[in-house]
Structure 1
Amino acid sequence: MFDRRSTFGEALDNPAARAVLERLMPGFAASPMAVQFRDGRLGSLIALVPALETEEARAQLWAELAEIDDDVVRPPYAPAVDPDPAYESEDVARASATVTLPHDVTLWAPLEIRLAGPSHGNPFVDVELDAVFTRGGAEIRVGGFYDGDGTYVIRALADAVGEWSFITRSTARSLDGLTGTVTVGAAAEGAHGPVRVDGFHFRHADGTRHRPLGTTAYAWTHQPDELQAQTLSTLAEAPFTKIRMCVFPKSYLYNANEPADFPFVGSLADGFDLERFDPAHFRRLEQRILDLAELGIEADLILFHAYDRWGFADLGPAVDDRYLRYIVRRLSGFANVWWSMANEYDLLWAKDTEDWERLAAIVGAEDPFGHLNSIHNCRPFYDYSAPWITHVSVQRVDVYRTAENTDEWRERWGKPVVIDECAYEGDIDQGWGNITGEEMVRRFWEGAVRGGYVGHGETYLPSALGLDDEVLWWSKGGVLHGTSPDRIGFLEQLLAEAPEGVWDPLPGDWDVPWGGVAGQVKVGYFGFNRPRFRNVMLDSGDWVIDVIDTWSMTVDRLPGTFAAGSARIELPGRQFMAVRLTRV
C-alpha cells in the first residue's frame, strides 16, 4: 500500500494513486513542476499543499492511498525491545553494584550517581534503571542510562540545596535497591538555573532575567574539534544567549561532510546498530553543552529533522522512543538545555501530529526538571496551544514578513514568541539566506518592540570572502563575518535597561510599532522609513527623549525634559531609527 514513506514518483506512476493525488492534492500533482518532486516522500510533500493542512484532510489522503496496492517492498520498522527481567541470574546479590557518589555538588549543577555494573548482552536495551530521589520532602523519578564499559549513570539536575537521598530500581539485580545520600550546596557564581517561562518572556530559575537572542549553527558539534573550538571562541565574543543545534548530523546545502561518529554505533557505509548508542559521541556533546554554559548560552537541542542521508529521519516509532528516552535521561541534568522536538516538523515524512504528541509525552515523562520545549515549523504552524509547548518557535511566513506578526502570535497562543528563523544574513543563492545585515537587524527590532525574540543566522559564501572552504556559520559554525551581531548586542543592551529587562507591545500608530513598559518607557521603531521629525504624545509627568540610531549604535538624548502633551522630535532622515520616551 502507499503511505507516508512512498515517494511522489511512485504514486504518480500508479494510475489509481495518481488519481487520488490529483483530487486531494489539487494544483500540486498535476503541476508541470511536479517532476522535480518525484523523489520526495509523500509524508514530507503534504506540507506544501494548503488543502492538507488539517488532520482530517491528511487522514483522508492516507486512508485512500492505503487501499491501493504498491509494488515497492519496504523493510518493516525495527520492533521495540523490552528490558530482560532475567538479565542477571538469581545468584547475583541484589544491590551489589559499586556506587560512586559525587562530591561538592552545587545548586543547578548535574548531580551524578555512577554505578559499576554488568556489561554482558546489550545493557542499552536489556537493562532498565531509574532512581527515586527525595529532597525537601518531595520525590522525583530520574531515569538512568548506560554509559558503556559497565558504567551506568543517573544524572539529576540539582534544583534544591540540602540533602538528597535516593534508592535505585532496576531489572538488573545488582543495580536494584542501591541507596545513598548527597548534599547539594549553594550555587556557583554565575549559575542561575534552567530558563522558565515568565508570562510572555523568560527568567532563570533563580529569577535572573533571560532574553533569548539566539543564533543557529545546526551541525557545529559534528565538525572537527578545531572548528568546534573556533565556534566557541566566536560565541565568547558574540552577544548571543541561545544557539540552535542538531543532535543528528545534517545533510543539506553546505552540509556534505561525513561526521566522525554518530548517536548510534556504526557508519553510513556499514550501517547503524539501532539498539546501541555511542556513549563517546554523547560525552562529546555533553562537553559542548558545558562549554556553552560557561559562556552563558542556552543549548536549544533539535531532536529530529528531515535533512538526512543516514536514515535517522525515519527510524520508526520504537527506535524514536528509545532514542528520546536515552538522550533526555542523559541531558536533562544540564541546566542550559532546551528541547526542540523538531526543526521543520512538517517535513519529517514519517510523522504526523499523533506521533509528535507521543514523542513530546516521552520527553515530558523523562525530564522531571521541566526544561523548555517547543517544535519548529516549515510551513503550517503546529498548534502551539498544546500544553507541553512552553513557547512558540517559528520561522518566516514568507520571504519578507515575519517579525511584524509577533504581537498577533502572542495574542493567538498566549505564550512567548521566539522567531528562530527570520532568514539569514548572507549572500547564497537561496532566498532564506541572502538578506543584508541591515535587514537582519530590522527584523530583530520589529520583533523586539512587539514583545518577542528574533533569531540570527549567517550564510556568507566563503569563496566571496577569499576563503577556500565551505564553512558557513549557519551550518558548521566557525567565524562570523556579518554586520548584524554587534547591532544585536546593542539591542540587548537597550532591552536590559528597561525596568523589567523586557519590552511588551504598546498601542502603536498605523505606521510605527511601539513597545516598552506601560507608563514608564515607550520605544517607537521606524524601520526602513526615514522621517525628518515625529510628533509624539506624552502621558502625564515629565519625560526624557532619546533618539536611537539602531545601525550606528548611538543614543542621543534631547536636552531637558518634556511635559505631558505633544512633543516634536527632530530626526536625521535616515533609516533604522528609533525613539525612546522615558518617564522621569
Structure 2
Amino acid sequence: MTEQWGISELVFTNPTTVEFSQGTQRLTIWSFWDGDGREIVRFMPPTQGVWSWVADNNNEFGELIVGPPSPGNHGPVRVHNTFHFAYADGTPYRQMGTTCYVWNHQSAALQAQTLETLANAPFNKIRFCVFPKHYIYNENEPELYPFEKLGEAKWDFTRFNPAFFAKLEEQIVALGKLGIEADVILLHPYDDGRWGFDCMPAEADDRYLKYVTTRLAAFRNVWFSLANEYDFMKEKTEADWDRFIGIVKKNDPYDHLTSIHNGTVLWNHTDPRLSHASIQNGSAVEDAGRAVLYRDVYRKPIVFDEVIYEGDIERRWGRLTGEEMVNRFWEGAVAGTYVGHGETFLHHDDVLWWSKGGVLHGKSPARLAFLRDVLQHAPELEPIDKWHNQRTGGQPGQFYLVYLSSAAPSEWTFALPKPGLEEGVTFTAEVLDTWNRTITPVAGTFMTKKLDNYTFVDATDRKIPLPGLPWQAIRLRRVAA
C-alpha cells in the first residue's frame, strides 16, 4: 500500500510510459533511466483508493491501493486564493524561504550540519542548484556530477549519472522530513567555463530538463525553478527559456509550483505556466507600497526570493544588517507577498550559508521565527488600502497587522481604513516588538466609529502607547459578537 502523496515505483527494462487511472482521473508518466538496465516509473497518487495502471510497451498492468497520508504529509504546495499558498489538503503554507545554492555539493559532514541547522531554523523552503557552482567563495570541486565524464571538463551529455541524482533525491527526502520545500534550481550561469553545464547544446538542455523533471516530479516537496538569474545566461535566448518552461511542464504530471528567477531583467510572469513570480529585487521590499505593485501586475503569488543577504562580505549584495533583513520580511508580509532569506558572513573555510550551508551566524533567523509564528496564527494577509495605507495588511474588518518599520513613535492613534468596517465593531490590540520578539497586550478594547469617508477610529479616540523604538507592529483582532 502507498500513502496519498507518497511514492510508488515500477521497474521496467525498456523505456516506457505508464497510464495511471482512477475514475475520470488519468496521469501519463514517463520512465527514466536509472542505470543497470533499469527504467523507473514513479507515481505520486493524488487521491486515495484503488488506482489502475497500464504500461504502453509490453501490456503490463496492475493495481495500486492508496491509503491515507501519514502524519505531517499534507501533499504538495499549491497556489491558494490567487496570491498565497496552501498544501494540497488545505493546510495553510506561509512561505519563509532561504537560499543555500550548493549545500548539496558539499561534504557529507557539511550537508549533515546544514540539515541540523535547518531543523532548528524558521525556514520552510530552501533554494538550491542541481549543477555545481563556480563563483566567489565557491571553488571546491563536487564529489559527483550529473553526467558521465569523458575527460577533463568533457561530458557525455547523453548519459546521466544515476548516483548523482540518487544523492539529490536523498537530500530532497531529508528536507521533506523537516517539513521543508525543495526549490530546485535547474539551470544557472555560474559555471565560468569550468564544467560547461551553462552552455550545453540545445538537445542536451532539453534532454536534461526532461530527465530531471521526470525523475523528481513524484516528490511532493519539490518546486521547479527554471533558473537562477536566467538573464545572465547570455547564450540562451528568450525563445530557449520559453521552450524550457514547456519541457518542464510537459514532464511534470503533478503540476508542481514552477518559477524562473531574474538577474536584472524580469521575466514575463504573467505566463500561465508559471505558478508564482520569483523576484530578485531588494528595493521592492524596502517598503510595502513597492512590493504590492508586483501583485497587481502578475496576479499570482509574489516571492521575493532574493532581497540581498545579511552578512559582512565586501560585495554590496552581501552586507545587509539583520535589522534590515527582518524589516524587508515584514514589509513584504503586510503587502501580501513573501520574502526569502540569505546569509553571507565571512568564514575562514569559505563556508557561507548562502552557498554551502553549515551554520547560521546572523541576527535575523531568530526574528524570522517570531514572524513565522505571527503569520501561522494569522489569516492570509492582504493589502487593505494599498494606495494610501501601505503599513496595514490583513483581512478587512477582521484582522490587521500595522507595521511601523523604522519609525519609533511613542503612541499610535487607532485608525483603520474603511473597507470591511462599520461603526460599533470591537477589536483587541497587541503591540509586537518584531526585533526583541515580545508581545504586549493592550488593556481594554477598541470600538470603531466613522471619522470620514476613508477611515474608522476608536469611539473614544484612544491611542495605543508604544515604547519609542523602531520595528514595532500592532496586531488587531475582531472580537466576536
TM over 0.5: yes
Structure whose residues are more often helix by fraction = 1
Of 439, 458, 462, which aligns to 1:555?
A: 439
- The DSSP-based 3-state class of the residue aligned with 2:446 is coil
**Could you list the per-position Cα deviations for residues 274-327 of structure 1 after superposition, in whole angstroms to 9, with x for gaps in the alignment?**
110000110010011111110100000001100012111111210111001111
Of 433, 449, 468, which aligns to 2:318?
A: 433
**Could you list the per-position Cα deviations for residues 192-233 of structure 1 after superposition, in whole angstroms to 9, with x for gaps in the alignment?**
111110121001111111111000000010111111111100
Of 339, 347, 350, which aligns to 1:454?
A: 339
Structure whose residues are more often strand by fraction = 2
Question: CA–CA distance in 2 between the matches of 1:395 and 1:405?
Answer: 13
* Match status 1:576 vs 2:471: yes
Aligned to 1:265: 148
* Match status 1:567 vs 2:462: yes
Residue type at the aligned position of 2:472: M
Of 91, 97, 108, which aligns to 1:214?
A: 97
Computed over aligned residues only, the root mean square deviation of the Cα atoms, in angstroms, reads: 1.6
Shift, 1:575, TM fit: 0.8
Residue type at the aligned position of 1:113: L
Runs of 4+ in 1 over 6 A off after TM superposition: none
- The DSSP-based 3-state class of the residue aligned with 1:429 is coil
- The DSSP-based 3-state class of the residue aligned with 1:513 is strand
> Is the Cα contact below 8 Å between 1:338 and 1:372 reproduced in 2?
yes
- The DSSP-based 3-state class of the residue aligned with 1:531 is coil
Shift, 1:572, TM fit: 1.2
> Is the Cα contact below 8 Å between 1:404 and 1:447 reproduced in 2?
no
Of 75, 93, 96, which aligns to 1:193?
A: 75
> Is the Cα contact below 8 Å between 1:449 and 1:525 reproduced in 2?
yes
Question: CA–CA distance in 2 between the matches of 1:510 and 1:552?
Answer: 29
Count matched residues. Answer: 459
Shift, 1:458, TM fit: 0.5
- The DSSP-based 3-state class of the residue aligned with 1:341 is strand
Shift, 1:404, TM fit: 4.7
Aligned to 1:141: 28
Residue type at the aligned position of 2:371: L
Aligned to 1:378: 263
> Is the Cα contact below 8 Å between 1:403 and 1:422 reproduced in 2?
no
5 Å matches for 1:498-537? 498=378, 500=379, 502-507=380-385, 513-537=391-415
Cα distance change, pair 276–509 in 1 and its aligned pair in 2 (3 A): closer
Unaligned 5+ runs, structure 1:
1-103, 118-126, 171-175, 463-467
Q: TM-score, normalised by structure 1?
A: 0.76
Shift, 1:510, TM fit: 5.4
| Farther-moved stretch of structure 1 (390-399 vs 240-249) | 390-399
5 Å matches for 1:241-390? 241-266=124-149, 269=152, 271-308=154-191, 309-390=194-275
Shift, 1:580, TM fit: 1.4
Aligned to 2:350: 470
Shift, 1:129, TM fit: 2.0
- The DSSP-based 3-state class of the residue aligned with 1:180 is strand
Question: CA–CA distance in 2 between the matches of 1:440 and 1:225?
Answer: 30
Question: CA–CA distance in 1 between the matches of 2:474 and 2:345?
Answer: 32
**Could you list the per-position Cα deviations for residues 118-140 of structure 1 after superposition, in whole angstroms to 9, with x for gaps in the alignment?**
xxxxxxxxx64211111233221
Aligned to 1:112: 9
Question: CA–CA distance in 1 between the matches of 2:19 and 2:442?
Answer: 61
> Is the Cα contact below 8 Å between 1:450 and 1:503 reproduced in 2?
yes
Q: State the percentage of identical aligned residues.
A: 45
Aligned to 2:305: 420
**Could you list the per-position Cα deviations for residues 474-499 of structure 1 after superposition, in whole angstroms to 9, with x for gaps in the alignment?**
0001101111111111111111111x
| Farther-moved stretch of structure 1 (399-408 vs 214-223) | 399-408
Cα distance change, pair 303–255 in 1 and its aligned pair in 2 (3 A): same
Shift, 1:191, TM fit: 0.3
> Is the Cα contact below 8 Å between 1:261 and 1:267 reproduced in 2?
no
Question: CA–CA distance in 1 between the matches of 2:31 and 2:123?
Answer: 32
Cα distance change, pair 377–162 in 1 and its aligned pair in 2 (3 A): same
